[in-house]
């Protein structure tokens, strides 16, 4: 067993019964070892992903600060450089915030508290957070939801999940377009649709978009770390959705 081999005895002797129990123990040990290996691999991938996400903004920050320290610049250029620094520091700040939320959800530090409350209020909370960015791109946002529709859900975390969908819609929808949120009440569940007029997601990539840190090749020019849809699915799944 230590070397990874085992032999089962066919006889019903005491030794055979002991051997059978040891074989069961061996199977459990093997299963635990596989779990540890899988967790180690996932941790290595997570560290690699975080390193990749942080590397670019850190390199940009070093480049900008080196320029400010080594070369004379005009006041206008200095202002541009400082704006660039602020923009680059926002990226790791957002990443670490998303990672903390993910960690707290996955480890059970946060327990979702479902209450019977108005879904319209949850959607209104989300729309108020994206309205400024939507207005900058001249994107109209419409919501079709019965104001008296009550749903057993955690309003705060459901709003977090829906915000990630709406935020993506604003990012990837061209200017002067529209985003439409509709709510359909079915017999067994309530369906919330967030539809936009962006380019959409290719069918071949639709199975991968909920993976942590996954981003399509064609969207790397947009800000983001590829964790929003992962968080959205975790939050909804934890509520039985």
Assign residue 142 the CATH number of its domain: 3.30.565.10
* Sheet with 178-185, side-by-side order of all strands: 140-144, 178-185, 190-196
Q: What is the pLDDT of residues 2-57, one digit of tens each?
A: 666 666 555 567 787 888 888 888 888 888 888 888 878 877 777 777 777 778 78
Instruction: Please determine, for residue 221, whether its predicted confidence score (pLDDT) is greater than 60.
Output: no
Question: Both 229 and 120 in a single domain?
Answer: yes
Q: Give the DSSP H/E element, type plus range, for residue 180.
A: strand 178-185
* CATH number of the domain residue 95 falls in: 1.10.287.130
**What's the domain count of the chain?**
2
Residue that is last in its domain, among 67, 92, 110:
110
Rounded-to-5 percentages of helix, strand, coil across the chain: 60, 10, 30
Positive or negative, the CA dihedral 206, 52, 162, 199 is negative
Question: Both 103 and 147 in a single domain?
Answer: no
Question: Both 87 and 127 in a single domain?
Answer: no
| Mean pLDDT (the chain, rounded) | 83
Least confident of 87-101, 124-138, 149-163, 184-198: 87-101
Question: Both 138 and 80 in a single domain?
Answer: no
* Structure tokens belonging to residue 143: 């919501």
* Residue 123 CB contacts under 8 Å (≥ 6 apart), including other chains: 143, 145, 162, 181, 183, 192
Question: Both 102 and 151 in a single domain?
Answer: no
Can you give the pLDDT at residue 207? Answer: 80
Give the residue with greater pLDDT, 167 vs 103.
Answer: 167
pTM equals: 0.64
Residue that is last in its domain, among 110, 127, 152:
110
Enter the DSSP assignment of 196. E
Question: Both 96 and 152 in a single domain?
Answer: no
Least confident of 38-42, 76-80, 165-169, 192-196: 38-42
Residue that is last in its domain, among 110, 137, 163:
110
| Distance between CA atoms of residues 71 and 66, nearest Å | 8
| Alpha helix (H) residue ranges in 107-240 | 119-136, 155-172, 228-238
Q: What is the pLDDT of residues 168-177, one digit of tens each?
A: 899 888 898 9
* Residue 224 CB contacts under 8 Å (≥ 6 apart), including other chains: 168, 171, 215
Least confident of 77-81, 196-200, 225-229: 225-229
User: By residue range, what is the domain housing residue 151?
Assistant: 116-238
Q: Do residues 173 and 197 lie in contact, with contact meaning Cβ atoms separated by under 8 Å?
A: yes
Question: Both 104 and 46 in a single domain?
Answer: yes
* Structure tokens belonging to residue 22: 């040891």
Burial 167-180 (b: 16+ CB within 10 A, else e): bbbbbbbeeebebe
Identify the band that residue 145 occupies on the pLDDT scale cut at 50, 70 and 90. very high
Identify the band that residue 181 occupies on the pLDDT scale cut at 50, 70 and 90. very high
Average pLDDT estimate for 155-184: 91
Phi, psi of 184 (to 5 degrees): -120, 125
């Amino acid at each position: 067993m230590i070397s990874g081999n085992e032999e089962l005895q066919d006889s019903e002797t005491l030794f055979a019964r002991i051997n059978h129990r040891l074989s069961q123990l061996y199977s459990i040990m093997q299963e635990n070892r596989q779990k540890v290996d899988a967790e180690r691999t996932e941790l290595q991938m997570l560290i690699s992903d975080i390193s990749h996400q942080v590397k670019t903004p850190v390199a940009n920050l070093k480049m900008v600060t080196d320029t400010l320290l080594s070369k004379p610049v005009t006041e206008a250029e200095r202002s541009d450089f400082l704006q660039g620094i602020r923009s680059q520091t926002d990226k790791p700040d957002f990443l670490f915030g998303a990672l903390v939320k993910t960690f707290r959800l996955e480890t059970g530090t946060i327990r979702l508290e479902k209450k019977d409350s108005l879904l319209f209020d949850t959607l209104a909370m989300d729309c108020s957070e994206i309205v400024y960015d939507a207005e900058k791109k001249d994107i109209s946002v419409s919501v079709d939801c019965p104001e008296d529709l009550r749903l057993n859900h955690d309003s705060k975390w459901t709003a977090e999940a829906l915000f990630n969908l709406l935020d993506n819609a604003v990012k990837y929808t061209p200017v002067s377009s529209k985003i439409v949120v509709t709510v359909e009440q079915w017999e067994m569940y309530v369906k919330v649709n967030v539809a936009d007029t962006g380019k959409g997601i290719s069918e071949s990539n639709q199975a991968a978009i909920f993976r942590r840190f996954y981003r399509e090749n064609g969207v790397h020019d947009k800000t983001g770390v590829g964790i929003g849809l992962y968080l959205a699915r975790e939050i909804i799944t934890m509520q039985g959705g």
